[in-house]
Amino acid sequence: MVFRKLPGVSASGMGLRLSQKFVFLLFLSGLVTLCFGALFFLPDSVRLKRIFLSKTETQPVTVGSGSENDAREHLKRPKEQEHPRGMTSAKGETSTKLKTLSRKPSVSHEATEERLAGGKAQEDLTLPRSKTESASQKATSSDHGGNSDTFRYSKFKRCLLKPPLGRDNGKPSDPKTNERREKVKEMMKFAWDNYKRFAWGKNELRPLTRNGHIGNMFGGLRGASIIDSLDTLYIMGLMEEYNDAKEWVQTSLDLNSNGEASLFEVNIRYVGGLLSAYYLTGEELFKRKVLELGEKLLPAFNTPTGIPRGVINLGSGTSWSWGWASAGSSILAEFGTLHLEFVHLTELSNNPIYTEKVMNIRKLLNKIEKPHGLYPNFLSPVSGNWVQHHVSIGGLGDSFYEYLIKSFLMSDKTDDDAKKMYYGALEAIEANLVQKSPGGLTYMAEWRGGILDHKMGHLACFSGGMIGIGADDGAPEKRQHYLDLAAEITHTCHESYTRSATKLGPEAFRFDGGGEATATRLSDRYYILRPEVIESYMYMWRLTHDPKYREWGWEAVEALEQHCRVESGFSGIRDVYTMTVSHDNMQQSFFLSETLKYLYLLFSDDDLLPLEDWVFNTEAHPLPIVRKSCMQDETQDKTASE
């Protein structure tokens, strides 16, 4: 009985119980600590983390969402760009992160519901942590023993079927044709020399007042005529002029602008021009510049649908829609004219984000219903729905269709999705828009919710060439049909030239009120040095070698010389139907990039920029066909030899 300890009797017994409790609590706290540590440090604990962390910390980043691009841009941008130095935009706002965020349009309740439901949302793709290096930084290592998956210029050159400039720079054997080609070259030199003398570094030349024009399309970027002319000067062999242009790009092209830029215009002129200059010359300068610029365009895609807005501030990354666009919509020809350039940005940077962005546009367009198979010109970047049922193969719609067939061709005919979309659209266009006038002229009307407007714009005259280059790849039994349609459209556009007093075509011509292929409104009678008709001549010459296309091209040269050439350059005219010419005092950059280039190619042999190797973007900048199998084989051969 001595060893029995009764509860509450001895002080020593009470101390023993306290020690046991302390040990137990110590053990319990260790166990809890171990469990919570597992939640945060074990690799499979992501779902448990969500119990304790806010959604914004663990939410996956999706392609097309604002969060994805914000994250990517934060990772890529140098610190000095993360905190702009108080520069003011065209609207007079200080360009800081706080203020630029406040300018972004809010997301509608309907759009939020669609994204949650998955209706307009895009595929979730988490950002790879390894892709924090900027595209422009990657460019510095390629061609210099960099990683095997970076772009090598020598590898690209071996994948071309023919030399880009042909056997003798495309010089034709026929003396008359060569004389005409030399005339076009002289016109280019004349236009360039006057630009350099009176407007150097500005975007375009005003030849009557002999000064430069900056404009508001490029958001503070300068030198549009220089960038647009690089490849034209090079293929014409104007090497002194080309070297002056290259030096300006190296010393004076400042991409840190802070104004309202058109995503479309910057892409087709600056991105397209720099890409083609790189592919033709191999100059790394152009590659570095274009990859730097490409990154600055990505924030335009920060919308609920991933459809980019039309205007972007290249400094802050803020984007918005054109004020004149219906209900804040994006324009078909603008968001549909990115594919060629963005695929090449991916090729050069080895960064898939550019291709992902344009492929997402395709996915959305394939999902939504098309009225009668047609693509209207206005689409909401918030809801992903059409805003109006206005369809045009001219302005607002044109180059969307051009980029479908050219995406297929540029992919070495492997992009079956682009092919399907193009021929589907072409069938709908033939069924609903293609018309025959009482006088036998084939034209493309515009469609306004089922009502035809019997008007064809000068911009729509590119479609003769477009239909021609796509003739071989549709249904075999329709090849001749497409070639005939292309020839008929091109003939109609030529008629719009021949029926004017100046032998230059108006901005738009109509087929109603008894008139055919003529402008019936004063507001449609001007000509601003546009290339589209000559573009179709060039393609139809290469496809058929019918000499009439070269004759038609020479008619245009003579008309340009007579009516548009002034003492200090070339100028558009206000009325093509009067011989008393009134000039508009503007030498458009696309005159040097497109009009004169297409004329030069028209009078050259077909091996100058052969169509087997090159496609032209909508600003006539040549981009090479992407031969993936060849590029991969070259990489494997190099690896094996090492």
Question: pLDDT tens digits, residue range 315-345?
Answer: 999 999 999 998 999 999 999 999 999 999 9
Average pLDDT in the 411-417 region?
98
Residue 446 near residue 452, CB atoms below 8 Å: yes
| Phi and psi angles of residue 536, each rounded to the nearest 5 degrees, phi first | -65, -35
**So what's the pLDDT on residue 20?**
60
Apex CA 529: angle with CA 523 and CA 531, to 5°? 110
Decide if pLDDT at 434 tops 50.
Answer: yes
DSSP state of 310: S
Question: pLDDT tens digits, residue range 68-95?
Answer: 333 333 333 333 332 222 332 333 333 3
Residue 292 near residue 256, CB atoms below 8 Å: no
Decide if pLDDT at 55 tops 60.
Answer: no
3-state secondary structure of 141: coil
Decide if pLDDT at 43 tops 60.
Answer: no
% pLDDT > 90, the chain: 72
The separation between the first and the last C-alpha atoms of the chain, rounded to the nearest angstrom, is 91
Apex CA 234: angle with CA 230 and CA 236, to 5°? 120
Give the other-Cβ count within 10 Å of 629's Cβ: 10
Instruction: Give the Cα separation of 514 and 438 in Å (integer).
Output: 9
Decide if pLDDT at 116 tops 90.
Answer: no
Distances (CA, A) of 158 to 78, 153, 272, 631: 36, 9, 22, 9
% pLDDT > 70, the chain: 75
Catalytic residue among 114, 292, 356, 507: 507
Does residue 507 carry a catalytic annotation?
yes
| Phi and psi angles of residue 603, each rounded to the nearest 5 degrees, phi first | -100, 15
Q: What is the 3-state secondary structure (H, E, C) of 564-591?
A: HEECCEECCECCCCCCCCCECCCECHHH
Per-residue confidence at 602, pLDDT binned at 50, 70, 90?
A: very high
* 532-544 vs 548-559: helix crossing angle, rounded to 10: 160
**So what's the pLDDT on residue 96?**
30
Average pLDDT in the 436-458 region?
96
Average pLDDT in the 121-142 region?
40
Decide if pLDDT at 384 tops 50.
Answer: yes
Instruction: Give the Cα separation of 15 and 377 in Å (integer).
Output: 86
- Name the least confident of 43-52, 380-389, 526-535: 43-52
Residues in the chain: 642
153-641 in CATH: which number?
1.50.10.10
Average pLDDT in the 54-80 region?
33
**So what's the pLDDT on residue 514?**
80
**So what's the pLDDT on residue 259?**
87
> 């152009």: which residue's tokens?
286
Q: Helical H runs in 282-322?
A: 284-297
**So what's the pLDDT on residue 485?**
98
3-state secondary structure of 212: strand
> 């960064």: which residue's tokens?
351
- Name the least confident of 102-111, 166-175, 296-305, 507-516: 102-111
Q: Mean of the per-residue pLDDT values for the chain?
A: 83
Written as one letter, the residue type at 388 is: Q
**So what's the pLDDT on residue 632?**
76
Written as one letter, the residue type at 163 is: P
Q: Which two tokens stand for residue 360?
A: 């997402």
DSSP state of 106: P
DSSP state of 211: E
CA dihedral 564, 570, 571, 573 (to 10 degrees): 10
Question: pLDDT tens digits, residue range 544-598?
Answer: 999 999 999 999 999 999 999 999 999 999 999 999 999 999 999 999 999 999 9
Residue 384 near residue 368, CB atoms below 8 Å: yes
Residue 213 near residue 595, CB atoms below 8 Å: no
**So what's the pLDDT on residue 312?**
97
Residue 444 near residue 434, CB atoms below 8 Å: yes
Instruction: Give the Cα separation of 256 and 344 in Å (integer).
Output: 22
What's the burial of 317, exposed, middle or buried (CB within 10 Å: 0-12/13-18/19+)? buried
Instruction: Give the Cα separation of 46 and 285 in Å (integer).
Output: 44
Average pLDDT in the 492-520 region?
96
Instruction: Give the Cα separation of 175 and 184 in Å (integer).
Output: 14
Average pLDDT in the 164-175 region?
97
**So what's the pLDDT on residue 446?**
98
Decide if pLDDT at 457 tops 70.
Answer: yes
**So what's the pLDDT on residue 33?**
57
**So what's the pLDDT on residue 136?**
55
- Name the least confident of 140-144, 228-232, 369-373: 140-144
Residue 71 near residue 127, CB atoms below 8 Å: yes
Instruction: Give the Cα separation of 614 and 622 in Å (integer).
Output: 6
Instruction: Give the Cα separation of 206 and 212 in Å (integer).
Output: 6
**So what's the pLDDT on residue 631?**
77
Q: Helical H runs in 175-238?
A: 175-199, 224-235
Residue 504: name the closest of 573, 445, 592, 587 by CA: 573
Decide if pLDDT at 296 tops 60.
Answer: yes
